[in-house]
Amino acid sequence: MSVSAQAVKQLREKCGAGMMDCKRALEETGGDMEAAIKLLRKKGMAAADKKAGRAANEGLIDAYIHQGGKIGVMVEVNCETDFVARNEAFKAFVHDVAMHIAAAAPRWVSREDIPADVRAAEMEIYTAQARETGKPEQVLAKIAEGKLNKWMEQTVLLEQAFVKEPEKTIDELRRELVAKIGENIEIRRFVRFQLGEEPV
């Protein structure tokens, strides 16, 4: 199927992928714009996963102070080269992450950062709640596991829905940028201050 240059341009503007990638995606999906976007996102995620093991020692530290000065965030995001650290798309991502942390108050960057005792305590609570449902013993663990996963989605930064685009998680946003820029990008750490509270 032949694809018009206008359609390729439109797809590029929507997702930022390369011209030939956009053309191929439109050809593969018979010109369906939404299906082409999904296809490019899947390919981008796969490309991002391949770069995940590469060392990321450059990057930026960004600070965001919410209006009124009652919430402040500092975040460190790493990339592979100083060149990418100066890239506008990278800078915008780092700032968006800082702003998201201010709004969504995550406690950890990833699941791996959750201390074992905290995870165990949460699991204990959800198991006790599951037991109160009166369901058979063999399904209690699954119910508790489901509740634990839900809790982690709300408290882990990478798994939270991005405040500006709730249909994407922070990790999906990060992986899209990895696919676009071509370097590994990692959110290393953050601290969130709220007036009158201990920093998180």
SS3 percent helix, strand, coil of the chain, rounded to 5, is 55, 15, 30
Q: Return the number of other C-beta atoms located less than 10 Å from residue 131's C-beta.
A: 13
Alpha carbon 122 to chain centroid, angstroms: 23
What is the reported pLDDT for 104? 96
194 band by pLDDT with thresholds 50, 70 and 90: very high
What is the reported pLDDT for 12? 72
- Compare 75 and 144 and report the one with higher pLDDT: 75
Where is average pLDDT lowest: 16-20, 70-74, 141-145, 172-176?
A: 16-20
Decide: helix, strand or coil at residue 135.
Answer: coil
Q: What is the mean pLDDT of residues 24-28?
A: 85
Model confidence pTM above 0.85: no
- DSSP states of 56-88: --EEEEEEEE-TTSSEEEEEEEEES-HHHHT-H
Instruction: Put the strands of the sheet holding 71-79 in their side by side order.
Output: 58-65, 71-79, 186-194
Q: Which CATH architecture has domain 115-154?
A: Orthogonal Bundle (1.10)
- Compare 172 and 6 and report the one with higher pLDDT: 172
Please tell me if the domain spanning 58-110+156-194 has the same topology as the one spanning 115-154. no
pLDDT higher than threshold 90 for residue 190? yes
CA distance 30 to 19: 17
Q: What is the mean pLDDT of residues 54-67?
A: 83
Which two tokens mark 178?
């990895």
Instruction: State the CATH class of domain 5-51.
Output: mainly alpha
Domain ranges across the chain: 5-51, 58-110+156-194, 115-154
Enter the CATH code of domain 58-110+156-194: 3.30.479.20
Q: Name residue 113's amino acid.
A: D
CA trace torsion 39, 44, 46, 48 (10° rounding): -170
Question: What is the percent of the chain where pLDDT is above 90?
Answer: 49
CA distance 7 to 15: 12
What is the reported pLDDT for 63? 95
What is the reported pLDDT for 125? 92
- Compare 183 and 121 and report the one with higher pLDDT: 121
| Contact residues for 28 (Cβ-Cβ < 8 A; gap 6+) | 36, 39
- Compare 198 and 106 and report the one with higher pLDDT: 106
The mean predicted confidence, pLDDT, of the chain is 86
Question: What is the percent of the chain where pLDDT is above 70?
Answer: 88
Decide: helix, strand or coil at residue 169.
Answer: strand
